[in-house]
């Protein structure tokens, strides 16, 4: 089992920045693809970004490209999401997730076996 714990959420004004962290414990997440998803009230959980084990290959939803940066520190078993130029529509609960099989379908939430409890991000206008 892998336990994931997100942190770093909060309230920020439009145009501000936040850095989310996702700490993994339990089994090593060596080789895992890691992802960030978010869910706004009344909406489905949507893909934000994903990163392969090497850290070289990263993927983003179109609306996040250029504003969000995903990264990981395997030595610390931690993944990050740097969010800049935040907008009110970015308001959501942000979840980190781990995919042990490193599926090609990194944007599909059903490919991920482990999930954190989520951290709230609120962007005020």
Predicted confidence at residue 26, as pLDDT, reads 85
Residue 29 has pLDDT above 90, yes or no: no
Question: Do β-strands 68-73 and 58-60 pair in parallel, antiparallel, or remain unpaired?
Answer: unpaired
pLDDT confidence tier of residue 27, bands split at 50, 70 and 90 = confident
pLDDT at 35 exceeding the cut of 90: yes
pLDDT of 68-81, one tens digit each? Answer: 999 999 999 999 99
Q: What is the bridge-based pairing of β-strands 92-99 and 114-115?
A: antiparallel
Q: Using an 8 Å Cβ cutoff, are 89 and 125 in contact?
A: no
Residues 48-65: tens digit of each pLDDT? 999 999 999 999 999 999
């Amino acid at each position: 089992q892998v336990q994931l714990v997100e942190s770093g959420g909060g309230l920020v004004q439009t145009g501000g920045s936040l850095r989310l962290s996702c700490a993994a414990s339990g089994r090593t997440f060596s080789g895992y693809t890691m992802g960030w998803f978010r869910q706004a009230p009344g909406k489905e959980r949507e893909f934000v970004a994903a990163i392969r084990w090497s850290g070289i290959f990263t993927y983003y939803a179109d609306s996040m490209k250029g504003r969000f940066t995903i990264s990981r520190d395997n030595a610390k078993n931690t993944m990050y999401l740097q969010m800049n130029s935040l907008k009110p529509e970015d308001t959501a609960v942000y979840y980190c997730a781990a995919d042990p099989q490193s599926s090609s379908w990194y944007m599909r939430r059903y490919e991920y076996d482990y999930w954190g409890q989520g951290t709230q991000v609120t962007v005020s206008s």
